[in-house]
Amino acid sequence: MQLGVNVPNFGPGTDPGVLRDWARVVEGLGFDLLMVSDHVAVTADVAERYPEPFYDPFTTLSWLAGVGDGRLRLGTTVLVLPYRNPLLVARMASTLHRLSGGRFVLGVGVGWARQEFEALGVPFGARGRLTDEYLGAVRAAWAEQGEGAAAPVWVGGHSEAAIRRAVAFGDAWHPLRLPVARMRSVLENHALPGFAPRIALRLTDGAPDGPDRPAGVGNLQQVVADLRELRGLGAEAVVLDPYHADPEETRRPETAWRALAAVAEAWRRTA
């Protein structure tokens, strides 16, 4: 099972130097995958959690592809697919996939920021239908572009519609920040093409418990146990997300780096 990191590509503490440092830390700690988020119009509802500067995911990943030894996979968690013409998405994704030597993962979702949809002129209520339609168009475009164009597609979300979407169009289901029990239930009741969750990373002094505890939240032993359980459920990759919705965190990336280092070392000892 591969381990990845969702790197903040936004916020007051993020600049080109910090993004480069993130890539070096992620690679240096032995992680396999670096992923970033997506917003286009940073409207008020987005800015509360993901404020400017917000670096475009395709441009950011293309730049970071040249950092390090070329081993890290790169991806989006998640690209809001209805925001862009699907032929443009197909072209940008296939270009990045080919130029990076086949290292790109296209994680997609329907989006949640109603004001951002309005700013872009995209009907919020149609976002699910548009995502399905656009995924079909992306797949068709890749078929026309030929061998090497198609990147793995991870489909985010945990609604019934999202699960159907993952089955119809995805290479993996990519749920975000769910308890292990919830993910296990979905996997037991659906024939999914693959499984690559994104979980929180929040190390605590105590040992929070209960069925609603999100995977990745707890002491170091609990987080490692979550990773072992997800591996047992068939996860091909798990993406750790150390950002907790406070933009000021982006000024102190060392806190996240220490948590990632602790998990990486503990996982190596027990995996």
pLDDT at 271 over 80: no
Write phi, then psi, for 108 (nearest 5 degrees): -130, 155
Task: Find the helix or strand (DSSP H, E) in which 202 lies.
Answer: strand 202-203
Q: Region 121-128: what's the mean pLDDT?
A: 98
Task: Indicate whether 112 pLDDT > 90.
Answer: yes
pLDDT band for 229, please (50, 70, 90 cuts). very high
| Dihedral class, residue 146 (left if φ above 0, else alpha if ψ from -120 to 50, else beta) | left
Distance (Å) of CA 35 to CA 51, 54, 150, 180: 18, 14, 18, 21
Q: Model confidence over 231-248: pLDDT tens digits?
A: 999 999 999 999 999 999
For residue 128, how many other CB atoms are within 10 A of its CB?
A: 17
Mean pLDDT taken over the chain: 97
DSSP single-letter state for residue 268? H
In this predicted model, what pLDDT tens digit does every residue of 3-18 receive, in sequence order?
Answer: 999 999 999 999 999 9
Query: What 3-state class would DSSP assign to 80?
Result: strand
| Cis peptide preceding 53, ω within 30 of 0 | yes
Counting residues of the chain whose pLDDT is more than 70, the rounded percentage is 100
Structural Rg of the chain based on CA atoms: 18
Q: Give, in order, the Cα–Cα distances in Å from 108 to each of 30, 78, 157.
A: 25, 5, 9
Q: What is the pLDDT of residue 159?
A: 97
Q: Rounded distance, CA 107 to CA 19, Å?
A: 20
Residue in this structure with the two tokens 């459920």, named with its chain if needed:
233
Cβ atoms of residues 196 and 174 within 8 Å: yes
The answer to whether residues 215 and 226 touch, using CB atoms and an 8 Å cutoff, is yes
Integer Cα distance of 64 and 17 in angstroms: 11
Give the Cα separation of 107 and 35 in Å (integer). Answer: 9
Write the burial class of residue 69 (CB in 10 Å: 0-12 exposed, 13-18 middle, 19+ buried): exposed
Give the closest residue to 220 by CA, choosing from 179, 264, 271: 264
- What pLDDT does 83 receive? 98
The residue-averaged pLDDT of 35-54 equals: 98
Q: Please give, one letter per residue, the 3-state secondary structure of 95-138.
A: HHHHHCCCCEEEEEECCCCHHHHHHHCCCHHHHHHHHHHHHHHH
pTM above threshold 0.85: yes
Element (H, E) at 83: none
Q: What's the rounded mean pLDDT across residues 64-84? A: 96
What is the structure's pLDDT at 221? 97
Alpha helices per DSSP H over 103-232: 114-120, 127-145, 160-169, 180-189, 220-232
Which residues are CB-contacts of 144 (< 8 A; sequence separation ≥ 6)? Answer: none
Q: Using 50, 70 and 90 to split pLDDT, how confident is the model at 194?
A: very high
